[in-house]
Amino acid sequence: MRRLRNVKIVATLGPASSDRATIRALFEAGADVFRLNMSHGTHEGIAQLHRLIREIEHELRRPIGILADLQGPKLRVGTFADGKETLEEGAAFRLDLVDKPGDATRVRLPHPEIFEALEEGASLLVNDGQIRLKVTRCDAESADCEVMVGGVISDRKGVNVPDVVLNIPALTEKDRKDLEFVCALGVDWLGMSFVQRPEDVAEGQRLAAGRAAVIAKIEKPAAVAALDGILAEADGIMVARGDLGVEMPITSVPVIQRRLIATAQQAGKPVIVATQMMESMISAPVPTRAEVSDVANAIYDGADAVMLSAESAAGKYPVETVRTMNAVAETTESDPHFRVRMEALRPRARTRVADAIAAAAREVAETTDVKAICCFTHGGTTALLMARERPRVPILALTPSTRSARRMALVWGLHCSTTHEVERFKLAVVSAARAAREGGFASDADRIVVVAGIPFNTSGTTNILRVAPVDERAIYEGEPE
């Protein structure tokens, strides 16, 4: 079950992938983390998927990450008397709070917080940007607009407001209930949708209370502008290209994606690239050439993970899609230019002892005949620092914490394994040697680098590095305590 790649694959579960056999097949094909979409399904259904994943994890004896993706605030228009209307370019159209069906001149927008924030000249995007409105006049209860791009508008279509920061919480009442439910279940990551400011993420962290790590989904211009503050609060980010491509010029999405990946890597926090990565495989057994290039480019840019949404949740070929993505990743990472890119993306500054230890471990591994870097980590800090270095050799993340092992399943290059707690460094070296040998990373004739923190089982204490033999007899004969 050893992965022959560094980038991780996140697969969304849904109607096409909700039975035990398919979930196991997805994992065996290459999925490292499973996403549970809280916008769909019941708590009972989510609990069933969680149970199946954990049973498969137990059978295969390998940590599997679970990401629960919260829905976030959904802004939608009301209904129309005839179900839909056609808006012509240049026509006038009003959005208001009046609780009655709409027509060709107006419709209800039941979100007073939007009217409070709107200004003349602001844009409103309806139905994933297919209809574009420009505000010509607004007050606390309505907004008169000019139709800039027309089309068919129908009941309860979504609304995006890219030009203003809305005074709405990133967590709705539904999100709060869902958050508590999935944290009680034991998911590893929480995805927060439509984050606008660092305070949104801080609220999610407060409610999660350490029970799950928080991923901030970057899908609004305000979030892009506040990236540094959001990244400081979050445990990782997601490049949510769907809404991002609606709220910002679509031509800017590749540039923003690359910036988000680079910024997250410098911070040592995982970043997922999501949305339409292999969209055609919802209905076709092979992807387009453009989709393959899209996945490869995210990998070249240094993303920790690439994500499948409807492709694995509702498509005809969920297992084939994961298998194809896995093959694209393996091929991309075998390109010599991939290593050049990874070396160019390494941290520019290392100001702490832990940073220097990680950099030294990578340097030793790459300039000597060392087969793997073995990190002893409790909360994941040491392994995250090591992954940030993007070394050429495999990274084994060894931890006594099952929770940490599952979370680290999302992080670039980490081969995660649970181990017993150790009190002496020699025992840590022995455990690392056994893990490297049993995982097929090294033989008795090889050497490994062992990185750890003293005292053991304390987060954030990375301070020791040792080049060690894999042969246990040599460890006991030559290694100090």
What is the per-residue pLDDT across 393-439, written as a single tens digit (0 to 9) for each?
999 999 999 999 999 999 999 999 998 887 788 888 899 999 999 99
Predicted local confidence at residue 479, as pLDDT: 54
Residues 250, 256, 261, 267: is their CA dihedral positive or negative?
negative
CB atoms within 10 A of CB 108: 19
Distance CA 130, CA 355 (A): 47
Q: What pLDDT, on a 0 to 100 scale, did the predictor assign at position 138?
A: 96
**Given this model, what pLDDT does residue 475 score?**
77
According to the model, what pLDDT value does residue 478 have? Answer: 61
Model pLDDT, residue 457? 64
Nearest by Cα to 324 from 290, 276, 281, 282: 281
Rounded to whole angstroms, the Cα distance separating 432 from 266 reads: 27
DSSP summary character for residue 209: T
Domain ranges, ordered by start, for the chain: 8-72+170-334, 84-160, 353-478
What is the Cα–Cα distance from 412 to 386, expressed in whole angstroms?
A: 10
Residue 220's Cβ-count burial label (10 Å; 0-12, 13-18, 19+) is: buried
- Calpha distance 175→130 (Å, rounded): 27
Catalytic residues, by residue number, are 35, 76, 217, 275
Identify the three-state secondary structure at position 217: strand
In this structure, what token pair is assigned to residue 131?
């209809």
What local confidence, expressed as pLDDT, does residue 314 receive? 96
Residue 464 is predicted with a pLDDT of: 87
DSSP SS3 for 287: coil
59 vs 25: CA distance, rounded Å: 13
- pLDDT tens-digit profile of 240-292? 999 999 999 999 999 999 999 999 999 999 999 999 999 999 999 999 999 99
pLDDT attached to residue 441: 95
**Dihedral pair phi/psi, residue 376, rounded to 5°:** -90, 120
- 447 to each of 163, 301, 370, 430, how far by Cα in Å? 56, 30, 5, 12
pLDDT at 1: 63
For residue 423, what pLDDT is reported?
75
Fold of 353-478: Pyruvate Kinase; Chain: A, domain 1 (3.40.1380)
The answer to whether 8-72+170-334 and 353-478 have equal CATH topology is no
Nearest C-alpha neighbor of 448 from the set 439, 456, 461, 457: 439
Q: Which CATH architecture has domain 8-72+170-334?
A: Alpha-Beta Barrel (3.20)
Phi-psi region of 460 (alpha: psi -120 to 50; beta: other; left: phi over 0): left
Q: How far apart are the first and last CA of the chain?
A: 33
Which CATH code for domain 84-160? Answer: 2.40.33.10
Percentages helix, strand, coil for the chain (3-state, rounded to 5) are 40, 25, 35
In angstroms, the CA 424 to CA 421 distance is 10
Amino acid at 49: L
Q: Please, what are the averages of pLDDT over each run of 10 residues along the chain (481 residues)?
A: 93 97 98 96 96 97 97 94 96 97 97 94 93 96 97 95 89 97 98 96 98 97 96 98 92 97 95 97 98 98 98 98 98 96 84 89 93 92 94 95 96 94 83 93 94 75 87 71 49
In which region does residue 335 sit, left (phi positive, over 0), alpha (psi from -120 to 50) or beta (all else)?
A: beta
How far, CA to CA in Å, does 452 sit from each of 217, 358, 360, 463, 466?
A: 32, 10, 13, 6, 9
Q: What is the pLDDT of residue 352?
A: 87
pTM recorded for the entire structure: 0.93
Is the distance from CB of 3 to CB of 415 less than 8 angstroms?
A: yes
Q: DSSP string of 74-143?
A: --B---BTTSEEEEPTT-EEEEE---S-B-SSEEE---HHHHHH--TT-EEEETTTTEEEEEEEE-SSEE
